[in-house]
Structure 1
Amino acid sequence: MEQQQKATHHISTASLFRELFSYAGPFVIVSLAIPLLQLIDQYTFNRAMIDIAQANIAEFAFQVINFSGQKLVIIPVTLATGLSLAILPALTSSFTNNNIQLLFKQINQALQIVVVLVIPAAVGLASLAYPAYGSLYGLDRINISGPLLAWEASIALFLALITVTSSILQGINQQNYAVISLLAGLLFKVLFNIQFIHMFGAKGAIFATVIATLITVALNIWRMQQAIQFPLKQTIKRMMLVIIFSTIMAIVLWIYKLIVGTFLPYEESRTAATIVLFGGVVIGGGVYLWLAQVSTLLEHIFGNDVVHATLQKISSMRKRVFHRS
């Protein structure tokens, strides 16, 4: 092949390394978004809580927000971003080949996978915050940890979108801008974290993080629109549908907790919290998936083959469970 080639290229090792780091550097920096947000809380949270005379709960609230609660929030984020980023190589190929229509379709799919998975997961986690935290970490100070986890669930969508939109910018050769948008979000967190804690208490740190990540996501999407004139109409329409389904799911979960709470004290018993959590996940997830399937939302996003294959696997697993029982 070397003897038959018609053109030769003399590229130095130094230039190859420069190109490698120009692509990898921004990607690595963006991947540090969560640790950097936590670092800001580490240096400002306790001081701000002391200022508002809540030093007695500062350490516990910090642990809930940045460690135990974060572990629960990151589960749907990891799942959704993993599925979305699988599209990235094909997306980069479409951009390189100037296939704009296919590129738009792939970007829409990447964003909609995040929306269709993370929004209901965040709503479900917020609805089941008390039994979720109580069953996994214990009921000590559940009156503090429960509300904090419920508020923190809202961060999940924006954390997932930061990763996905930054990766999309990398795919369309705009990776340096992803660093600028991340720095803008971090700057907001640095400037306003203490003020938000002074106004809202411990959950003020969560509010500051939500706005900071929202700023980063908004700037990334704006850059996508500027660079390739990407239309958001389809994603917004499907996001509204997901929000409607998630709202219905939240209402069902509220009724479910109201009923089971009469005979299962999930705020007092860890066993009761575990039972309520398991039942809530099954009922809430079932309601959302049924609505998404009936409306053909899943087929439009994941494709008919993927949805049908998944439903067949679920059906076969259910038959095996019933057969064993």
Structure 2
Amino acid sequence: MSDSNKFLRGTMILSLSQFLSKFLGMIYVFPFVAMVGQQGMALYQYGYQPYTILLSLATLGVPMAVSKFVSKYNALGDYRTGQRLFQSGLIVMTLTGFVAFVLLFLMAPTIADWIIQNPDEIGGNDLSSVVFTIRMVSVALLLIPAMSVFRGYFQGYQSMGPTAVSQIVEQIIRIGFILAMTFAILNIFNGERATAIGFATFGAFVGGLGALGVLLYYWKKRKHDMQTEIDQSTVDYQVPLKSMYKELIAYALPLSFVGLAIPLFQLIDLFTFNNALTATDAFTQGEAETAYGVFSGSAHKLILIPVAIATAMSVTLIPTITNSFTNGDRALLQRQITQTYQVILFLAIPAAVGLMVLSYPTFAILFGLGDVELGGTILRYYAPAAIMFSLFSVTAAVLQGINCQKIAVLSLLAGLIVKATSAYGFLYMMGPIGGSFSTLAGYGTALIVNIWAIGKFAAFDYAIIIKRTILIVMLTLGMAVAVIIVKEGATALFPLDSWTNAFLIEFFSVITGAGLYFILTVKTGLAGIVLGDRFSILKKNNNTS
């Protein structure tokens, strides 16, 4: 197998594993919420959000950076430099993981105070439960950062299998542990919900053990071959570790920070949501936590589904943008960026509008009727964020491809400032849906900067994208009108008072919407233009442009 084919195959395997891992991370929420409720979901988020941030800070994009360096020096015939980076990296990541664990463990009471400032309010989680949850998930920081070095080292040898398999195994074990322990504690041992949530977050550590086992298996299996290549190294550049890590951090830090966009926005909500709602005297702590569970857990997971699908469809276009920009092929670069935008808008806009129109039956099917009024309302206003999330990830990747990573970082900082300064006010004035509006305002700010930068530094002409966006919006509005008519008719026949009725409403509405959008996009030639290279049957013999 040639090096290019090997790289393409490895990239496809890794992309598929990441998509499957994220998809599994979405669907487990449905049975989990059925067992612990929305307040339980809120408590789970209290632990997981700080953990996610500290994990990213502890690893700083290590897999990607290590992969780049190992691959670079291997290509030069210097396998020893990659080995030195691997050995020192294991030590460094183990230490940073330990520091992150100690920090999160000791800071748990302080973080809990920030999240819940009025713990004596009615019906909410108590501070001790929040502290217990944060401390249980913090243990995973002892393990996960060091694993990132293994993954990066394998990827440097263009071996994506170990990373892909370990990611899937880690997610399956984590989810299995979460659901099994939650069910056992609540239904077999008749334990407290807080105890079940704490052990659920501990699933991050258990999943990490499974992934580490996979990586060690591959390491033992391939160690001899890698050592042979190291012994046969033709050169040794003797790169000082200080210089190596300086370059690693310079490369990885911007990418790591941009990858933290959604968790950082959620972190702001973590420290403002409950406090803003309870300050209005319109919500007890328990009601505020239920709303937070719906917003940050249930609704958030739903809108990530179209985001995952859209980005998975477009991600194969991103690496080629770097080559086009580097080679100065502006015409090809224009076509590639246009195609990337088109795929995202073609999928994300109708998906977001569909979630808005069908927010109530969708929420009822997946999370039950108990909180359907609250959940349907929040989902309706939060759904447009799917478009924002998709566009930001892709525009940031394009900026990376044209060597403008710093602009992506600056745009995210601007968005975070808007989110942080508006979150409390929106929540206080508008209630739970205020979190959606502050997120849209923050991401909108970041997107404006990214879109401007791509136009300026890639000399990108947005005329075609504006034209296609107008067409997509018009077709989506036509789809939405049809779905509303079908939904209202179905609701008259099947009132939204049972799971079966919710399913029937959803079924007829989705079939109508998906079918009509497909027909309209094919008839207008839009589907062939956007997806023609992937699905030749959609190509239309006309001159639509």
Q: Same fold (TM over 0.5)?
A: yes
Query: What residue is the counterpart of 1:147 in the other structure?
Result: 377
Q: Which of the residues 293, 300, 304 maps onto 1:70?
A: 300
Partner residue of 2:529? 300
The whole-number CA distance in structure 2 between the counterparts of 1:83 and 1:306 is 10
Q: In 1, Cα distance between the equivalents of 2:537 and 2:514?
A: 18
**Matches of 1:13 and 1:92, distance apart in 2:** 29
Q: Quote the Cα distance in structure 2 between the aligned partners of 1:12 and 1:234.
A: 48
Contact 2:522 2:528 in 1 (8 A): yes
1:210 has 2:436 as partner: no
Q: Is the 8 A contact 1:23 1:170 kept in 2?
A: no
Query: How much does 1:12 deviate?
Result: 3.7
Residues 229 and 13 of structure 1, relative CA distance in 2, 3 Å threshold: farther
| Equivalent residue number for residue 453 of structure 2 | 223
Partner of 1:316: none
Structure 1, unpaired ranges of 5+: 312-325
Judge conservation of contact 1:23–1:175 (CA < 8 Å) in 2.
no
- The question of 1:83 aligning with 2:306 is answered no
User: In 2, Cα distance between the equivalents of 1:191 and 1:131?
Assistant: 33
Distance in 2 (CA, whole Å) between partners of 1:139 and 1:290 is 33
Residue 164 (1) aligns with residue 402 (2): no
In the alignment, structure 1 residue 129 sits paired with structure 2 residue 362: no
Larger Rg: 2
Distance 1:265 1:68 in 2: 23
Shift, 1:60, TM fit: 1.2
SS at match of 2:535: helix
Q: Name the structure 1 match of 2:277.
A: 49
Partner residue, 1:248: 478
- Alpha-carbon displacement from aligned partner over 1:5-40 (angstroms, at most 9, x marks no partner): xxx996946556544443332122111111111111
CA distance in 2, matches of 1:55, 1:26: 39
Q: Could you tell me which residue of structure 1 aligns to residue 340 of structure 2?
A: 110
3-state SS of 1:231 partner:
coil
After superposing the two structures, state which structure 1 stretch, 66-75 or 56-65, moved more: 56-65
Aligned residue among 27, 34, 51 for 2:255: 27
Moved over 6 A (4+): 8-11
| C-alpha displacement of 1:309 | 4.8
Shift of 1:76: 0.5
Q: Which residue of 2 aligns with 1:269?
A: 498
For residues 217 and 207 of structure 1, what CA distance do their matches in structure 2 show? 15
Maintained 8 Å contact 1:264/1:272: yes
1:198, 1:2 → 2: CA distance?
59
- Cα drift, residue 61 of structure 1: 1.1
Give the gaps of 5 or more residues in structure 2.
1-74, 78-234, 540-545
TM-score by length of 1: 0.89
Identity %: 37
Give the 3-state SS of the residue equivalent to 2:424 in structure 1: helix
The answer to whether residue 289 in structure 2 is matched with residue 59 in structure 1 is yes
Confirm or deny that 1:99 pairs with 2:317. Answer: no
Distance 1:293 1:10, change over 3 A: same
Measured in 2, the distance between the counterparts of 1:289 and 1:134 equals 26
Paired AA for residue 175 in structure 1: Q
Q: CA deviation at 1:2?
A: 8.4
Q: Tell me if 1:233 matches 2:456.
A: no
Give the drift of 1:302: 2.1
1:126 is matched by which residue type in structure 2?
M
State how far apart, in whole Å, the 1-side matches of 2:323 and 2:236 are.
Answer: 22
1 or 2 for the larger relative contact order (CA 8 Å, sep ≥6)?
1
Aligned counterpart, 1:317: none
Using the alignment, how far apart are the partners of 1:2 and 1:248 within structure 2? 57
Mapped to 2, the partners of 1:254 and 1:122 lie a distance apart of 14
Partner residue, 2:24: none
Given that 1:115 and 1:157 are in contact with CA atoms closer than 8 Å, whether structure 2 keeps it comes out as yes
SS of aligned partner of 2:328: coil
Contact 1:298 1:307 in 2 (8 A): no
d(CA) in 2 for partners of 1:105, 1:18:
36
- In 2, Cα distance between equivalents of 1:179 and 1:11: 32
- 1:110-143: CA deviation from partner (whole Å, max 9, x where unpaired): 1111100000000001111010000100011322
Residues 522, 538 of structure 2: 8 Å contact kept: no
User: Would you say 1:181 and 2:411 are equivalent positions?
Assistant: yes
SS of match in other structure, 1:201: helix
* Aligned residue type for 1:306: R
